[in-house]
């Protein structure tokens, strides 16, 4: 396989948000509140504290985010 084909096939491996909907992003945020991707998703989709609490996040986890959520 040539270099161009190899690069073309590997181009979208690290594309995390390509097919992510708002609902799937919210579910992944609630499941794992400790990763850096969580902060990226919160700021990308603009989640509010109310949305995250309604989705099942723990109150303490949401309050620990402080000024990051509205």
| 13-58 pLDDT, tens digit each | 666 556 788 999 899 899 988 888 888 888 888 999 999 999 999 9
Quick check: is 11 in a domain? no
- Does the pLDDT value for residue 10 go beyond 70? no
Q: Which domain holds residue 38?
A: 19-68
Please indicate, yes or no, if residue 2 is contained in any of the structural domains.
no
Entry pTM: 0.68
> Is there a domain that residue 4 lies in?
no
Q: How many domains does the chain have?
A: 1
Q: What value, to the nearest 5°, has the Cα angle with vertex 62 and ends 57 and 60? A: 85
pLDDT of residue 65: 86
pLDDT band at residue 69, thresholds of 50, 70 and 90? Answer: confident
* pLDDT grade for 5, boundaries at 50, 70 and 90: low
The answer as to whether 58 is a domain residue is yes
């Amino acid at each position: 396989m040539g270099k161009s084909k190899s690069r073309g096939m590997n181009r979208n491996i690290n594309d995390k948000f390509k097919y992510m909907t708002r609902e799937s992003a919210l579910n992944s945020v609630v499941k794992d509140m400790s990763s850096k991707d969580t902060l990226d998703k919160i700021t990308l989709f603009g989640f509010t504290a109310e949305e995250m609490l309604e989705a099942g996040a723990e109150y303490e986890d949401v309050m620990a985010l402080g000024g990051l959520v509205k």
